Every structure is written in C-alpha cells, then in structure tokens.
Amino acid sequence: MAVRLDYVLKETGSNLRRNATLTIAAVLTVAVSLSLVAASFLIGKGINNSFLGLRSDVQLFIYMKPEATAEQIKSIKKDLDESPQVRKVDFYGKDKTFAEFKRLFADQPDLVSTIKPDELPQSFRVLPKSTDADVVAAVGKQFKSKAGVLRVEYAAEYARQVQRSLRTLNTWVLIVGGILIAASVLLIFNTIRTAVFARRREIEVMRLVGASNWFIRLPFMVEGLVHGLSGALLAALGAWGFDALWKKNFVNQVAFELLNQIRWSSGDLWLAIVVIFFVGALTGAVGSGIAVSRFLKI
C-alpha cells in the first residue's frame, strides 16, 4: 500500500488535534528546552569572547641584563621575530621602561626620584600565538639561556586558570543542553505513545487490510517531527528576544560592568538558531522513532 502525502498530512493533523493538550505540552517543553540551550550557547560564546581580552594578557617578559650589548639585543629581537610561536613583540628600551615605571608609580614620587633610567632593565614584551601554558613556557625556555638575558617571566598560573575556566564552562554548557534535550525527547516519546494507544483499534484494522509498516508509522513520525520543529520555531523567536533584551539591558551599561563584557556577534545568534532547528528536528525524529518502534510491533 503506497504512502500518499495527503494521507500523511491528514492523519498527522488528526493526531495533533486529538491529543491537543499533550501536543501543546510537548511543543512548549521543546521550545523552553531549546531556548535554554540557545541561551546557554550564546552566553558561553559571550564568555569565550570576553576571555579573548584575558588571553591577550598572557605575555612573556624577557628582561635583558644591564650590560647587554646592542648586538645581543638585536639577536634576541631577530629570534623572536622569526619564531613561529610569537604573534607580537614590543621592545622596551631604557626611556620607554622608565616612562612606564613613572606611570605605574605616579603616586610614589619619592620612589620615582630615586630611580634612574639606566637602573631599569630593558625588556621584550612577547605575545605568543598560543595561550596554552605549556606552549608559552616552552617559548620562554628557549630564551632563558641566551646571551644577555637576565630572566624570563610569564603568568604561568594565570594562563592555566584561563584554560581551566574555559574547559569548565564549555563542559557545563554541554551537560545542561544534553539534559534539556533528553527531557524533550522523553515528552515527545510519551506524546506519540499516547497517540498510538488512542488509535490502537484503527491500527489493528489497517494491519488486517494489508497496510504496510511505513503506511502506519509515518504519520506518527511526522507528528513527532512537527513537535520538534514547532518547538524550534518558538525557541528561535525566544533566542531573538533574549539577544535583544541582553543587548538592551546589559551590553554597554555602566551599572553592569561585568555582564557587559559578555557579548556575542550576529553570526553567533544565527548559528544558535540553525542549531536550534537541527536539534529540534532531531529531537522530534528520535522521540517519535523510539515510540513508534517500541509500541507499533509490526
């Protein structure tokens, strides 16, 4: 028995009307779950973006000895410029170092007056391409033993804390999203199971007249897909609303100095919406597929 599109649409609509309460509950659950997934995704993106500023502070400081020659300084500069692990290099000569010293200790004029530019070490401020603490340490180790180098310093523990924070954040986003999606699958599963139970007599008759497996199963599977996509549509609208409210109330607001650093691009929003529709369709298909396979023993 061939499966006709008009039959599938008619039966799907009938199932949705017949179980209107469960249908609404399933769609709303999917919508709320996917909205929270989208919000978690966007906030995660925003926090990751805010960490970009912190990552830029992971620098190497290569201090030169007071008696370091111009040739030694030139050699270090050449090696840094040629290193594939180095993004940017700034050299702080005596005058530039003293100017920074005066700025940092502007509230201690007595200390500033006792220091002469020649007494401060010249240095290289190195921004590595990688923020991995081990990679940064390896770069610094290359220069510790070079001629003219006094010492090499960098915020090793700071770099490791940034890495741990990002890993923890991404893990929690995945866990929360997984739990919410699992709840949606279970509700769609129960909705389809109820629909199958309500039509058990009709299904028996269809079996007796020779209806194929797909002829019986397809309307229920489409029903689950409708639940998932309808919830995804509402969740997409929710994501747009969340994006607008967040930018209006937190971004560039002096009263929320911490939260206004958490921001994401329009590309991130569109990616979240695409993910919502994909996950919504997958949720509906999985929930209905399991229910149909379990309760329609054909």
Give the pLDDT confidence score for residue 167 in this predicted structure: 72
Q: Among the three residues 139, 154, 169, which one is the final residue of a domain in this structure? A: 154
Cβ–Cβ under 8 Å, residues 290 and 189: yes
Give the pLDDT confidence score for residue 233 in this predicted structure: 92
pLDDT band at 3 (very low <50, low <70, confident <90, very high): low
pLDDT band at 1 (very low <50, low <70, confident <90, very high): very low
Q: Are residues 18 and 63 in the same domain?
A: no
Q: Which residue has the higher pLDDT, 37 or 133?
A: 37
Q: Are residues 73 and 206 in the same domain?
A: no
DSSP string, 236-273: HHHHHHHHHHHHHHTTT-GGGTTGGG----HHHHHHHH
Q: Are residues 143 and 165 in the same domain?
A: no
**What CATH number has the domain bearing residue 79?**
3.30.70.3040
pLDDT tens per residue, range 227-250? 888 889 999 999 999 888 888 877
Total domain count for the chain?
A: 2
Q: Is the pLDDT of residue 137 over 70?
A: yes
Q: Are residues 265 and 226 in the same domain?
A: yes
Q: Are residues 168 and 286 in the same domain?
A: yes
Q: Are residues 289 and 182 in the same domain?
A: yes
Single pTM value for the model: 0.59
97-106, long-range: CB < 8 A, 24+ apart: 97/121, 97/122, 97/123
Cα–Cα distance between 181 and 137 in angstroms, integer? 41
Domain with 135 in it:
59-154
Q: Are residues 237 and 129 in the same domain?
A: no
Cβ–Cβ under 8 Å, residues 195 and 293: no
The identity of residue 279, as a single letter, is V
Cα–Cα distance between 92 and 177 in angstroms, integer? 48
Mean per-residue pLDDT of the chain = 77
By DSSP bridging, strand 149-154 and strand 123-128 are unpaired
Q: Are residues 136 and 226 in the same domain?
A: no
Q: What is the mean pLDDT of residues 167-187?
A: 77
User: Which among 38, 49, 35 is positioned nearest to 166, based on CA atoms?
Assistant: 49
Q: Is the pLDDT of residue 38 over 80?
A: yes
The arrangement of strands across the sheet holding 149-154 comes to 86-92, 123-128, 60-64, 149-154
Q: Are residues 166 and 242 in the same domain?
A: yes
Q: Are residues 141 and 276 in the same domain?
A: no
Q: Among the three residues 154, 172, 198, which one is the final residue of a domain in this structure? A: 154
Of all residues in the chain, the percent with pLDDT exceeding 70 is 74
Q: Is the pLDDT of residue 186 over 50?
A: yes
Q: Among the three residues 90, 119, 154, which one is the final residue of a domain in this structure? A: 154
**Both tokens assigned to 223:** 């029903």
Q: Are residues 10 and 92 in the same domain?
A: no
Q: Are residues 165 and 22 in the same domain?
A: yes
Q: Which residue has the higher pLDDT, 291 or 156?
A: 291
Q: Which residue has the higher pLDDT, 235 or 184?
A: 235
